[in-house]
Structure 1
Amino acid sequence: MDNGSKEKYLDLNLFRGLGEDPVYHPPVLTDRPRDWPLDKWAEAPRDLGYSDFSRYQWRGLRMLKDPETQAALHDLVWEVRPRTIIELGVYGGGSLVWFRDIAKLMGLDTRVIGLDRNLSRCQIPAEERENISLHEADCDDLASFEVLRDAVHPILFIDDAHANTFNVMRWAVENLLTPGDYFIIEDMIPYWSRYAPKLLSQYLATFRDELTMDMVYANTSPQLDRGVFRRS
């Protein structure tokens, strides 16, 4: 593919796969007591004793965003003041509720939209879905994104589905995003940069006339590493 081509992109997400329990479970310590005796303070382990990522939650819902990413996205929401936040990949739904809540705390009139091909994993109670819309959509079927056509700008479009990303980004650029809107790729850029650096550079270059990388946010956390793009 040359830099100006709009052919179908190879899905770089094939280089990495994830599968986790969408339900939030409080951390369980199996190798030490939670209440450590102070007469043995000097002997206490210094590591957490559990996976810190799995404990991130918002109001009892798993949230697959670490604290650095949460802080960066908080600042981005305040700066952009989006009317619509779109997240591909609902999973447990914790980040949708978090986005809705922080936007409300900021006094914003923001609609949060979650897209996933399998909404059965969503844990958001029905009574907690105010200003949150859930839609079944498949990243391999771009026609299923037509439900987004009426999204109000400014838009934050966040890819957390890890599927067919560059074709999804092409669709968003050509059919949805206007200047000042954002397209954010979470998690995957470091993996692609390691395992498919030539393809990654080549694919990103095809958007050179339509997107720029926002350097205020692109290096704020490993999850957002070089993946925060603004429609130019």
Structure 2
Amino acid sequence: MSANDEFQAEVQRNIEAAGQDQGLKQRSLDWMLEAGGKYRYSYNFSWLGRPIIQYPQDIVAMQELVWAVQPELIIETGIAHGGSLILFASLLELNAACGGPSDARVLGIDIDIRQHNREAIEAHPMCRRIDMIQGSSIAPEVVEQVRQAARGKRVLVSLDSNHTHAHVLAELQAYAPLVSPGSYCVVFDTVVEDTPDELQAGRPWGKGNSPKSAVREYLTSHPEFQVDERMDNKLLISVAPEGYLKRV
């Protein structure tokens, strides 16, 4: 066994052991809920100058997936400040520099792209790899535009817009079929299902009406997707538990 093989075997043992440690998993969730609830933890980071509103662990996880999949198109629902669009565009730029697809692009969809955010995204050097659509991600005309853009491409999908069960399920039905075999549909904020109601006051989503409940319903009739439990066990701290869906 080579030194690299030995290292990877050790990594796998570490991840498997962490996945079996229920106390560690609970402490990780407790820490997330306290940090997120009190200090809006995910709001405190940026990527190449734009607020990203993601946990660092999930940022690293997406980097691993983008490198492994080498997508020609990344579809993201939910734009906000544009940090994730810039993240994906910069990762595609790195892929291209290392021999990956030279013309890979990111397509962002949001029902309301605020003008100041659009201007900041369009002024960013990474914007040369970014396209944006303003409209509901589940509107038939928007879905059709995305399908046309995805035709014939190796696709990775990130869903991070409205977090209600019905909306996420409709997004899964629209965009998961575009995911290439071996690639991923990542459903963010599945942790809503695990968050106490008092931390979600005033939100239209919550327990039983969340991205995770939508994922679970979708998977009952779509065996071509599986939860990447190894990713969950590796991250421990993530807003997307059970949300890293691999197309097999």
What TM-score, normalized by structure 1, do the two folds share? 0.69
Residue aligning to 2:145: 147
Q: Is the 8 A contact 1:193 1:200 kept in 2?
A: no
- The share of aligned pairs that are identical, in percent, is 24
Q: 1:85 aligns with which of 54, 68, 74?
A: 74
Unaligned runs of 5+ in 2: 1-37, 196-206
Deviation at 1:144, TM superposition (A): 1.5
Q: Which residue of 1 aligns with 2:90?
A: 101
**2:181: which partner in 1?**
179
Asked if 1 retains the 8 angstrom alpha-carbon contact of 2:133 and 2:142, the reply is no
Q: 1:143 to 1:180 in 2, by over 3 A?
A: farther
Conserved 8 A contact 1:182-1:229: yes
Runs of 5+ consecutive residues of structure 1 not aligned to the other structure: 1-48
User: Corresponding residue for 1:213?
Assistant: 227
| Deviation, structure 1 residue 56 | 0.3
> Structure 2 vs 1, CA of residues 143 and 181 (structure 1 numbering), >3 Å: closer, same or farther?
farther
Report the counterpart of residue 241 of structure 2 in structure 1.
Answer: 225
Work out whether residues 219 and 226 of structure 2, in 8 Å CA contact, stay in contact via their aligned partners in 1.
no
Partner of 2:111: 117
Correspondence for 1:170: 173
SS at match of 1:217: helix
Aligned-partner Cα distance in 2 for 1:162–1:112: 19
Give the 3-state SS of the residue equivalent to 1:130 in structure 2. Answer: helix
- Which range is displaced more, 204-213 or 91-100? 204-213
1:158 corresponds in structure 2 to: 158
User: Corresponding residue for 1:192?
Assistant: 193
1:33-112 aligned within 5 A: 51-107=40-96, 108-109=100-101, 110-112=104-106
SS in 1 for 2:53: coil
**In the alignment, what sits opposite 2:204?**
none
Question: Contact (CA 8 Å) 2:74, 2:157: kept in 1 or not?
Answer: yes
Counterpart residue type for residue 169 of structure 1? L
Opposite residue 143 of structure 2, the aligned amino acid is F
| Structure-2-length-normalised TM-score | 0.65
> Of the two structures, which has the highest relative contact order with CA contacts closer than 8 Å and spacing of 6 or more?
1
Tell me how far apart the structure 1 counterparts of residues 187 and 219 of structure 2 sit (CA, whole Å). Answer: 15
Residue equivalent to 2:8: none
Q: Does 1:134 pair with 2:128? A: no
Whole-Å Cα distance in 1 between the matches of residues 43 and 90 of structure 2? Answer: 21
Q: Which has the larger radius of gyration?
A: 1
Go from structure 1 to structure 2 and tell me whether the alpha carbon gap of 1:215 and 1:154 turns closer, same or farther (over 3 Å shift).
farther
